[in-house]
């Protein structure tokens, strides 16, 4: 990811879970520095279609303050009915300097 560019990622839920499976869950995600664990940002997480819960959109419009580093994130699902928590696999990414400036 290029620092300063808006972060916008679509994530598809695997077919192992039927449509609507995660309708009773809240979702959250944070970007952190690999190794240190320092929080870079709370990502905005929303269902593309809340009825099917097939695709999540993770965004952070302003990344100008993000550090140049290796970062990681996951998505955490919390079931509203009983508080059960589960997370996706952790994803790593590089935050790089942008070559083009305004």
58-80: pLDDT as tens digits: 999 999 999 999 999 999 999 99
Tell me how many degrees the CA angle 73-57-69 measures, rounded to the nearest 5. 30
pLDDT under 50: residue ranges of the chain: none
Q: Which two tokens stand for residue 66?
A: 């993000």
Instruction: Identify the pLDDT of residue 7.
Output: 98
Q: Which residues contact 15 (CB under 8 A, 6 or more apart)?
A: none
Distances (CA, A) of 25 to 20, 37, 47, 70: 10, 25, 11, 29
Instruction: Identify the pLDDT of residue 102.
Output: 75
Distance CA 14, CA 17 (A): 6
The pTM of the full predicted model, rounded to 2 decimals, is: 0.92
Instruction: Identify the pLDDT of residue 11.
Output: 96
């Amino acid at each position: 990811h290029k620092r300063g560019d808006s972060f916008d990622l679509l994530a598809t839920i695997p077919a192992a879970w039927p449509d609507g499976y995660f309708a009773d869950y809240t979702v959250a995600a944070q970007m952190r520095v690999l190794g240190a664990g320092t929080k870079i940002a709370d990502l905005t997480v929303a269902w593309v279609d809340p009825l099917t819960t097939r695709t999540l959109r993770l965004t952070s419009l302003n990344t100008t303050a993000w550090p140049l580093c290796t970062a990681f994130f996951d998505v955490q699902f919390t079931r509203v009915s009983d508080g059960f928590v589960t997370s996706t696999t952790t994803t790593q990414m590089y935050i790089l300097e942008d070559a083009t400036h305004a």
